[in-house]
Amino acid sequence: GFPAWRPRASTLGAVTAYGPRLADPTAVVGARVGAYVIDLLLVAAAAIACLVPMFLNTSIEAPSGTVTCNSGASSEFGVNRDRSTTDPSLCFDNGTTVRYIPLGDENAFTVKLYAIFFGIQAANLVLLQGLTGASLGKLIFGLRVVRPNGRTAGIGWALARWLMLQIDTMCCFLPGAILVFTTKGHRRLGDMVATTFVIRKGEVGRPPMVPGVNAPGPDDGYLAYGSYGPYNSPSYPAPG
């Protein structure tokens, strides 16, 4: 008898194959966006948790009005817009007291700030993701970063993905967003450089068969996504 579903023929050279519609294991873009938001919020929260005590320990407290933070509102933490003055750039005025970083300590404080932010981000996206295959956000959403052989990427490739992420960040995340939504395999620049795929954790351990990348796509007679059969299910012989 025939299968209950209608097979589609795929002509690969002189061979005609029949099989189930291949589901794209990388079609997890929504979960990836959610995971990245979680990662961003967690990194920001951790950085703020480190920044506040560091600012309090480094800053000097003085009565409000004795030090000018910037040309804007008084209850503002920001950068002095008038660099010709000797007023500090990093300060916070709550209307009663003002806390500020002395001019001679501003550069060192800024270096520490960036070191903390990138250090936390690297711990999450390089160390944790390299060891487990997932950042905190991906762990929550059940995603993993794998190589073409289906194994988790490892620290070296996670580092390559993270470095390429900085390019996306400098461009307001536009390159990454465009590539993830438009490319086969939903790969951003870091995935292309590291040759990685983001898939569900249940599919780790077997090579991800991505339609149009390393598996037949729509042009070969298969549809890129659907469910005539489970992902990687066996093919069926041609009827007749």
**pLDDT tens digits for range 65-84:** 888 876 443 334 444 444 44
Q: How far is CA 5 from CA 190, 215, 219, in A?
A: 38, 21, 20
Kindly report, residue by residue over 11-51, the tens digit of the pLDDT.
444 344 445 556 899 999 999 999 999 999 999 999 999 99
Q: Which two tokens stand for residue 95?
A: 């209307």
Percentage of the chain beyond pLDDT 70 is: 74
Q: Rounded to whole angstroms, how far apart are CA atoms 216 and 224?
A: 8
Residue with tokens 């690297």: 122
d(CA 122, CA 222): 39
Bigger pLDDT: 159 vs 172: 159
- Within the chain, how many helices (H) and strands (E) appear? 7, 8
The answer to whether residue 184 scores a pLDDT higher than 80 is yes
Closest CA to 148 of 201, 191, 200: 191
Q: How far apart are CA 147 and CA 115, in angstroms?
A: 29
Query: Across residues 99-111, what is the average pLDDT?
Result: 88
Q: Which of 183, 187, 146, 150 lies closest to 165, judged by CA?
A: 187
Alpha helices in 171-207 (DSSP H): 174-182, 189-194
Question: How many whole angstroms separate alpha carbon 85 and alpha carbon 68?
Answer: 10
Answer yes or no: are the C-beta atoms of 201 and 28 closer than 8 Å: no
